[in-house]
Amino acid sequence: MAAVHARSESYEAKIAEGRTAIAALQPERAARSFREAANLRTEEIEPLLLLAEAYRIAGNEGPAILALKEAEAISPGNDPTIQKQMADLYRRGGHTEQAISTLVVLRDTQQLTDPELLSLARLQARQGSLDEAFKSLEPIQKARPDDADAKVVEAEILLLKGEELLAARLMDRLITENPGLMEARMLRVRYFLNSGFTAEAEQDLLTLAEEDAARPEVILLHARILNRLERPAEADTLLSKLVAAEPTGVEALAMLAETKLLLGQNKEAQGLVDKVLRLRSRFPRALYVRARALEAQGDKDGAVENYSYALSSDPRFAPALSRMWRIHRDAGHKMEAMASLEKIFFIGEASLEEKVALAQMYAESKIHLERGRKLIDEALAREPGNPDYVAIKAALTEAMPRKKKPKGPIILRGGR
């Protein structure tokens, strides 16, 4: 009896030890503690779920998935908790199709919450499965047709469908009716930014209440806008305050490193990159900043290697994709360039220049012609008569399959 009690105490101690290590940003140490706890109670799934989370924080998606599969073997029957965590790991590791298929099973058995349905719809839309994305929204919209959060996701899907006018009207209506709806405001700001209306994006952001403007994700987006407006000194001030408040916030540290690079402070940028990579060894923005520095020094091979590292960590990381499609294009690798552009487009991060480039590639390769037409029509709506855009549209139209004329005599039927 005493041995059982001691074993129980040891198990609880290992769990507590692991949680403390997670809080101290030491996921490798946490993983060791959770593994020891799992060995003490082989019938429990909790330490394995915690072990998977520790591996995920450390950036080790493979071992994390194995830990979840181990938990699944203990608790057979597609435990929703395990399946949801598995889907999250698949998504983070870039295995988006596996994440979606796992979540669709949960959706079809009505085991997803409304926020999880919205996340699934976004994920499907960004993979180009727009009809499936609308299907994931259906349960919410049937129960509550005017649900504001679902309408935000609907607007995002409409943007990806190329229905820019409908999406813009929906975003405007949502913000008018729900001034405090942050998701709608942030979607419109990102839409302005990606569409080249950078000043309008900043103006929209400046209308936020003081409390909302102080949120880390808003500060990061504001810094991104300031950098795009070639005002990196202001971005530096914003980010330095955020880093002072959150010294281990890797996103803020990496964005500050990028800003230092724009300011020509390469040594400071490298120091920040090194700090981020000590905290998160495969953090994509830090690897991207290192790649930008190498590219600026003329080391294209080193740059490509680090862009590739960033994309292996997060295959949907738009800044690295945005550099890689250009590198592929300049090297004459048209299909690779097109694939990178499509990824940027389907995550809703494509600039107008990138949409035009993608439309041109579709025209040249004679594929996805309807999508190409929508992309170039969007560009022509901004710049009617632009000769390059007109030429791309003509090429897309020329490549479109023509309707076959009926053969044989045409018989007209009708009453007298």
Residue range 160-181, pLDDT digits in tens: 888 888 999 999 999 999 988 9
Domains detected in the chain: 1-108 (1.25.40.10), 113-197 (1.25.40.10)
Residue range 6-40, pLDDT digits in tens: 556 788 899 999 999 988 878 889 999 999 998 98
Residue range 348-367, pLDDT digits in tens: 899 999 999 999 999 999 99
**pLDDT the model gives residue 161:** 86
Q: If you average pLDDT over every residue of the chain, what do you get?
A: 89
Q: With pLDDT > 90 as the criterion, what percentage of the chain qualifies?
A: 66
Both structure tokens of 95: 């295995």
- For residue 296, count other CB atoms closer than 10 A to its CB: 12
For helices 198-206 and 182-194, what crossing angle results, to 10°?
A: 160
**pLDDT the model gives residue 205:** 93
Tell me the C-alpha distance between 242 and 215, whole Å: 10
Residue range 222-238, pLDDT digits in tens: 999 999 999 999 999 99
Q: With pLDDT > 70 as the criterion, what percentage of the chain qualifies?
A: 93
Lowest mean pLDDT among 23-32, 90-99, 123-132, 152-161: 90-99
Residue with the two structure tokens 């209440």? 209
For helices 182-194 and 216-228, what crossing angle results, to 10°?
A: 20
Radius of gyration of the chain (CA): 25
Lowest mean pLDDT among 72-86, 120-134, 266-280, 319-333: 72-86
Q: Can you give the pTM of this predicted structure?
A: 0.76
Residue range 187-211, pLDDT digits in tens: 999 999 988 899 999 999 999 888 9
Tell me the C-alpha distance between 366 and 173, whole Å: 37
Does residue 282 register a pLDDT over 90?
no
**pLDDT the model gives residue 416:** 42
The pLDDT-based confidence of 251 (bands split at 50, 70, 90) is very high
Residue range 115-129, pLDDT digits in tens: 999 999 999 998 888
- Return the higher-pLDDT residue of 89 and 357: 357
